[in-house]
Amino acid sequence: MHELSMANSMVEAILDTAKKNDAISVTEAVLEVGELTMLNPEQLRFMMDVLIKDTIMEDADIIINMIPIEIECEKCGFKGISETDENMDHLMAVATCPKCDSTRVHVIQGQECNIKTIKIEREDENA
Sequence-separated (6 or more) residues with CB below 8 Å from residue 99: 73, 76, 78
Rounded to the nearest angstrom, the gap between the alpha carbon of residue 15 and the centroid of all alpha carbons in its chain is 16
| 78 contacts Zn ion (rule: CB under 5 A) | yes
- Show the binding pattern over residues 37-76: x = contacts Zn ion (CB under 5 A), - = does not: ------------------------------------x-xx
Residue 98 and residue 69 in contact, taking contact as beta carbons nearer than 8 Å: no
Residues of this chain, 86-115, that bind Zn ion according to CB under 5 A: 97, 99-100, 102
Sequence-separated (6 or more) residues with CB below 8 Å from residue 118: 14, 17, 18, 26, 28, 29, 30, 60
Nearer of residues 62 and 73 to Zn ion, judged by Cβ: 73
**Distance in Å, CB of 93 to Zn ion, minimum:** 18
Please give the residue ranges that form the binding site for Zn ion (CB under 5 A).
73, 75-76, 78, 97, 99-100, 102
